[in-house]
Amino acid sequence: MQKGIIRVIVLGLIRSGDRIFVAECEDPVKQDTFYRALGGGIEFGEHSIDALQREFQEEIQAELTNIKYLACLENFFVYNGKAGHELIQVYQCDFVASKFYELDSLGFADGDGEHTALWMPIERFRSGELRLVPDQFIDYCEG
């Protein structure tokens, strides 16, 4: 049995029409581009909904509203040459400020480095043209 840490994170699914708000990420080892909803780690003693709000505030200075719990997903993956295991609390939510729905893209930094957040059509993930992680996340993207 491999020793490691199971990371507990939270992700926010934000939809606008046929688009979802995601971060564009790069695996430097695989030289692979993938997309993921914004969010991050849940700290010890912190409720996942509070972590969601904190992460959006820290990363893009955005407040959330209409927050609704959707699911808990389990994700096994390899990133940057290392095996990972996550338990992911997924929430559907909306931005308070309408300006976020008008953005083309938005740069932000987190623990993994610099990223770009942008609106992407759900169909580009459904068709396999682009990769959304974790794989099961796509099941929650339709309205």
Q: What's the pLDDT at 1?
A: 45
Cis amide linkage into residue 134, ω under 30° from 0:
yes
DSSP label at residue 124:
H
Question: Which phi-psi region, left, alpha or beta, contains residue 8 (left: φ > 0; alpha: ψ -120 to 50)?
Answer: beta
| AA identity, residue 72 | C
Q: Which domains does the chain have, with CATH numbers?
A: 7-140 (3.90.79.10)
Antiparallel, parallel or unpaired: β 82-95 and 7-13? parallel
Burial per residue of 101-126, b for 16 or more beta-carbon CB atoms within 10 angstroms, e otherwise: eeeeebeeebeeeebebbbbebebbe
User: In tens digits, what is the pLDDT along the chain, a chain of 143 residues?
Assistant: 457 899 999 999 999 999 999 999 998 888 899 999 999 999 999 999 999 999 999 999 999 999 999 999 999 999 989 999 999 999 999 999 999 999 999 998 877 778 899 999 999 999 999 999 999 999 999 76
To the question of pTM greater than 0.85 for the whole model, the response is yes
